[in-house]
Structure 1
Amino acid sequence: MAIKLTEMDFDQKISRNDLLKVLKNEARSIHIQDIMKASNFIRDDAKFMPRTEREDYIARFTKAFFARIKDIKDDGTIYTGEVDPDTLSEFLEIQNQLAQKSNSSDEECFHRIACVVATYTTFVREESIHPVGTRFPGGFTLQLVNGVYLCPVKDKQKDTPSALCRFCVAVQDESVDM
């Protein structure tokens, strides 16, 4: 069995549990310094946001990275079902392309952690890629209502080549008219 995402064989079935094992190995290789570098990138990336939104964005994503890495390491759930290897491969290829375009080691750490976390939430947990409460332009937020993730920007982003929205379980929040 593969121990890294880059070593996975996409020509065979992949169980959610096997993917979790790989993600646990990946999460163990992420250190506090990596999360600090990713936080620096988030801070730099948000520098042009309004101050109140910027502080919330930085705090929310830094906290989400810490929490999700811990969640992955500690996850003892037995998941049923399999992951579509073609979809997972496409998802990871987009993540890899984004990482290759990194302009700094801080950005590279961000993409590495985001890949592990987004893969976990999307394919193992089958949850929204963005944390519930994530704010988007216009003051709209991602919500969880009756077990359904409602995203205010899903329809606007799902066809963007580098966006992961098309893989996300969230659906368009119909109450948001964009």
Structure 2
Amino acid sequence: MSERGVERIRRTARRIGACTTRGELGSVLGEEAGRYTLHDLQRIGGGIKREVDPLPEPYRSQVRPYFEAQIFGAYHRLMHAHRSGSFRSMDDPIADPDRFKEFAALIEEGCLRESGKSGTDFGFSDPLHSLFYYLVTGYLMFVENGPGHPVGTPFPGGFVVEQRGDEYFCPIRDKEQDVPFSICNVCPAHQMEGV
């Protein structure tokens, strides 16, 4: 990776970590996500496809739309809100500043550490594409205040991410602790009971 790419990741991580309101964070995430080209987005989509294709059926067909919604659905909502100026009126603080600081601290090393050791490659094979993943999941969790994986995302065993009132429950929330740079470790969802 070029020194310019490394510095971009480091600068972006610092900018994200300095945010205190949802609107400020949304603006930073929107600016950074807006730097990705159509070619970048196509390569990121290819990374998702490479991650999903080896999964066994019928799970592969069930999970594919949720992974695409997690990445590209969030990206489109982020860019729409950014371009429409919606973030200017969001002056409420980030809901859980400690969890947010933990998230911001993951970004640099999660992108730059050797992917086989960090668990953050996501099939993208490019640290800037891993950064994109952190941008859109940061939007999901700290601007939209939702879970990192969309409600309904299926996991092996027949369990799905659920919403109950204003709270989210995930079957794998506490099962990713051995992957130090996983967004699951900072997700607002609770571990689903009995899983």
TM-score normalized with structure 2 length: 0.73
- Aligned partner of 1:8 in structure 2 is 15
| 2:145/2:188 contact within 8 Å kept | yes
| 2:160/2:170 contact within 8 Å kept | yes
Distance, in Å, in 2 between the alignment partners of 1:121 and 1:65 is 10
DSSP-derived class of the 1:131 partner: coil
DSSP-derived class of the 1:51 partner: coil
DSSP-derived class of the 1:20 partner: helix
Percent pairwise identity: 26
Please, which moves more after superposition, 37-46 or 112-121? Answer: 37-46
- Aligned partner of 1:41 in structure 2 is 47
Q: Give the letter aligned to residue 138 of structure 2.
A: T
Question: How far 1:131 moved relative to its partner?
Answer: 0.9
Change (3 A) 1:23 1:54: same
DSSP-derived class of the 2:163 partner: strand
Structure 2 gap segments, 5+ residues each:
1-10
2:161 matches 1:142: yes
- Aligned partner of 1:21 in structure 2 is 27
Question: How far 1:31 moved relative to its partner?
Answer: 2.7
Structure 1 gap segments, 5+ residues each:
none
Change (3 A) 1:143 1:25: same
- Once the two structures are superposed, what CA deviation does each residue of 1:109-153 show, in whole Å capped at 9, x if it has no partner? 541221111111122121101111111121211011222111112
2:88 matches 1:81: no
Change (3 A) 1:53 1:35: farther
2:57 to 51, 59, 68: 51
Displacement over 6 Å in runs of 4+: none
- Aligned partner of 1:31 in structure 2 is 37
Question: How far 1:158 moved relative to its partner?
Answer: 4.5
Q: Give the letter aligned to residue 56 of structure 1.
A: Q
Distance, in Å, in 2 between the alignment partners of 1:155 and 1:64 is 19
Q: Give the letter aligned to residue 64 of structure 1.
A: Q
- Aligned partner of 2:68 in structure 1 is 62
Distance, in Å, in 1 between the alignment partners of 2:22 and 2:67 is 25
2:119 matches 1:107: no
Change (3 A) 1:48 1:160: same
2:107 matches 1:95: yes
| 2:16/2:29 contact within 8 Å kept | no
DSSP-derived class of the 1:149 partner: strand
2:182 to 151, 163, 171: 163
TM-score normalized with structure 1 length: 0.79
Distance, in Å, in 1 between the alignment partners of 2:19 and 2:131 is 24
- Number of residues paired by the alignment? 172
